[in-house]
């Protein structure tokens, strides 16, 4: 069961501001992003990721980690019931979740979200680490191997909430 989250003006403003702060920090430190889609700006990719994190956090009843790191957050976007959560957000139609470089990026709980439009995210589902590791494929998008897992393997987030 896919769950849609629509952000209001205030929520979207916070998302946008955080994305701008992160990108400003990266620019000041001359950090170059390795992104899967060269047609999207670093800011739009960052904003998309934060939207997925915020949607997932809202459903899980937790907060996102809004600290700004020089080299990313190590794949830990949220914490839920003592487990690490990685949220991967892609544009709608991309039927997979992508984990950078190796399986160290696979966290206890891996969530896939789709950005539908500038205010809407669909939370597709989640996968425990052990299932992600069993079902993933390795793909190279031009900047090294990435672990990917198809959306069809993700479980409804409602199953995680029940517990």
Each residue of 30-79: pLDDT tens digit? Answer: 877 766 667 778 889 889 999 999 999 999 999 998 887 766 666 688 99
Each residue of 10-29: pLDDT tens digit? Answer: 999 999 999 999 889 888 87
Question: Domain segments of the chain: what residues?
Answer: 3-162
**Helix residue ranges per DSSP H, 61-156:** 129-135
What value does the CA radius of gyration of the chain take, rounded to a whole number of Å? Answer: 15
Determine if the pTM surpasses 0.85: yes
* Predicted local confidence at residue 144, as pLDDT: 76
- Write the CA distances from 38 to 42, 45, 63, 111, integer angstroms: 9, 10, 30, 23
Each residue of 121-150: pLDDT tens digit? Answer: 999 999 998 998 899 888 887 777 878 888
């Amino acid at each position: 069961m896919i769950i849609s989250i629509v952000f209001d003006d205030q929520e979207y403003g916070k998302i946008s501001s955080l994305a701008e702060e992160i990108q400003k920090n990266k620019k000041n430190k001359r950090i170059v992003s390795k992104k899967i889609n060269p047609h999207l700006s670093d800011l739009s990719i960052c904003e998309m990721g934060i939207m997925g994190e915020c949607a997932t956090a809202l459903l899980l009843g937790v907060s996102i980690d809004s600290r700004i790191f020089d080299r990313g957050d190590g794949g830990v976007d949220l914490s839920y019931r003592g487990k690490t959560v990685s949220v991967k957000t892609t544009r709608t139609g991309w039927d997979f979740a992508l984990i950078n470089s190796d399986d160290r990026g696979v966290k206890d709980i891996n969530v896939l979200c789709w950005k539908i439009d500038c205010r809407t995210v669909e939370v597709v589902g989640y996968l425990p680490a052990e299932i992600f590791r069993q079902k993933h494929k390795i793909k190279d998008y031009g900047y090294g191997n990435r672990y990917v897992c198809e959306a069809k393997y993700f479980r409804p987030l409602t199953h995680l909430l029940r517990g």
